[in-house]
Amino acid sequence: LLQGKAKAADIFNPAFVAAVPEAQLAQVVAGLKAQHGEPQAVVAVRPMDPRSASIDIRFDRAIVTFTIGMLDGKLSGLFITGTRTEDDSLDKVTADIAALPGRTGLILQKLTATGAETLASRNSEERFAIASVFKLYVLAEIDRAVRAGERKWSDVLPLTQKSHPSGITQDWPDNAPMTLQTLATLMISVSDNSATDTLIAAIGQKRLAAIVRASGHANPSDMIPLLSTQAVTGLKMPANAALRDRFLAADDAAQTKLLAEGSDALRLKNLDLSVYTGGPNQIDT
């Protein structure tokens, strides 16, 4: 199939063919070839149970891992579960990133008992917008509080801060009872913005500022106050340009006060998500 020598109907059972149109399957195969080159051979088969297996297929530039399901002698499922590039190296990866358009940076570190050991880096001292990586600060504070006995993972919080996707809880009932562990898991596993904002509101800016400083941020004031996803979107909106200008000119304490004063304008019901339909917006401020 991957080499174009067989048709989907010859390989897959009728239920799969009905669920995955041939055009859609062809698009997936074309994408694999564009990224990894031509498929060469099956190099490993690892049975998982009587009806499924994990298989490795060698392409020109990578090994692609699939999970397959079998039913009545034909495939009932096909899932791409991973890739690994052969004959690769950190130097090659770093060079590939350096060749990308725009401004790029990376740092890869191994965590050891004596500290972080840098394995590869490029422009690692430069300042970049971090997007949802900011959620790790929220997670760090929750972890600190649990370790200190101030909170428990089983603590229940109401879902009070509905935001826009990414995530799923924006579609859940208002004030749905959720454990601290559920909120944190959704925040990290699916980058759930509503779970994140609920945690930010529960933790408070004083604790969040402390964890940003404790983390070793080179310029903690850049992250204080720690903005909710709703506030980020609200401040990007052209309609809130005056509030944004006041916010950018203020110090940390005044910024925190401005967020509280303008909180209604920065809530989901008043957000215009069209700010995300164009190019990057306010990512350097």
What are 237-276's pLDDT values in tens digits? 999 999 999 999 999 999 999 998 888 889 999 999 888 8
The C-alpha R_g of the chain, in whole angstroms, comes to 24
pLDDT for residue 29: 92
Match 């995530």 to its residue by tokens: 167
pTM above 0.85, yes or no: no
Cβ atoms of residues 197 and 259 within 8 Å: no
Fold for the domain defined by 131-276: Beta-lactamase (3.40.710)
Comparing CA positions, the residue from 252, 268, 144 lying closest to residue 198 is 268
According to CATH, where is 3.40.710.10 located in the chain?
A: 131-276
- pLDDT single digits (tens) 137-193: 999 999 999 999 999 999 999 999 999 999 999 999 999 999 999 999 999 999 999
Q: Which pLDDT score, from 0 to 100, does residue 200 have?
A: 97
